[in-house]
Amino acid sequence: MNGPVLKVSGLTVSVGRGARRHVAVQDVGFEVPAGGSLGVVGESGSGKSLTLRALMGLLPPGVRAERGVVELAGEPLPFAGPRARSVRRGRLAMVFQDPLSGLDPVHTVGAQVAEVPRRVLGEPAAASRRRAVELLRLVGMPDPERRSHAFPHQLSGGMRQRVLIAMALASEPKVLLCDEPTTALDVTVQAQVLELLDDVRRRLGVAVVFVSHDLAVVRQMCDRLAVMYTGRLVETGRAADVLDHPAHPYTLGLLEAVVDLDDVDHMPVTIPGTLPDLAHVPGGCPFHPRCRFASEDCAREVPPFRYLNDRQWGTGEEGTGEDGTGEEGTGGEEGTGGEARGTACKYPERVTAG
């Protein structure tokens, strides 16, 4: 299949009405190739979870997707309305953060997994049950035949998360959206679940969009990365490129603030200032009050998101361009979902130098 399996452009989501209305996601776009993995990174208020929900057609009441196009294998999906859910069945599935609230406590896990093939794919009951056991085996649940009769509260957190993943895979989606699926899990269990997701991705060719606040986890899991801040996309690119050679001061700030287990000498440095209230985002570049590279024009104009010349930012080689500004619309993102490297900073070269 040519082209990305998932393509999002210009997604804008607003919350509230009238005077209280504010934009929670502004003009977000990215692509995911078939079988690829994209990590979406940000802190609270970054809009990463709302973005996923908009993709899934699961926006809560009072929250509206105002603009934007979501295309699955080339076909646009509506955000709301009667067809919103049905059109996503069997193509898009979501894994939530909290396995306890994602599962119905009064039904066995086997029944819940089997419900998907039965209702979504229309398979008969017995076949659905067999499929459920297969899926539980696929997600690494030991003794799946017997365990499928267990209730959610009888399983550990890691097992419950596997059940959620099984349910998501049961509809044979092309894209799996994961909203912080391992945040509530212990480190060793998280490692198991991440390994499972990676395994599933390779074997079934399912594309994964992985939302997290944990940079180390997305480094491990994802080929590509999108960094969000106050609802806006601030940087995209290959995961290794973004994390090793950040092109936006916020990404650099996050990297400096994170404590890494191996990097013993690096003491974490906090990003000055605080995350702004979404209703009062600073004018101009939203990050400018906290940015040590900011200049006057950063406060005046919102810098547009643009693509960078890949060679300068990917391999660390010295580029031939003088100031590193890329051209709009190039960088290989057309149709390949490829290595598009983008930033919302006007002066990304300051980030490398500083």
CA–CA dist 64, 100 (Å, integer): 27
What residues contact 191, with CB distance under 8 A and at least 6 apart? Answer: none
Residues 269-288: x/- map of binding to other proteins (CB under 8 A)? Answer: xxxxxxx-x-----------
Q: Contacts with other proteins in 139-178 (CB under 8 A)?
A: 142, 156-159
CA–CA dist 223, 146 (Å, integer): 36
Asked if 260 interacts with other proteins (CB under 8 A), we say yes
How many residues touch other proteins under the rule CB under 8 A: the total is 49
Q: How far is the CB of 319 from other proteins (least distance, A)?
A: 23
Q: Contacts with other proteins in 213-242 (CB under 8 A)?
A: 213-217, 219-220
| Structural tokens at position 162 | 């596997």
Q: How far is the CB of 153 from other proteins (least distance, A)?
A: 13
Asked if 243 interacts with other proteins (CB under 8 A), we say yes
Pick the stretch among 61-69, 121-129, 249-257, 329-337 that binds other proteins (CB under 8 A). Answer: 249-257
Asked if 108 interacts with other proteins (CB under 8 A), we say no
Pick the stretch among 7-15, 104-112, 129-137, 267-275 that binds other proteins (CB under 8 A). Answer: 267-275
Asked if 188 interacts with other proteins (CB under 8 A), we say yes
Chosen residue from 43, 123, 134, 223 binding other proteins by CB under 8 A: 43
* Contact residues for other proteins, defined by CB under 8 A: 43-44, 142, 156-159, 186-192, 194-195, 213-217, 219-220, 243-244, 253-264, 267-275, 277, 289-290
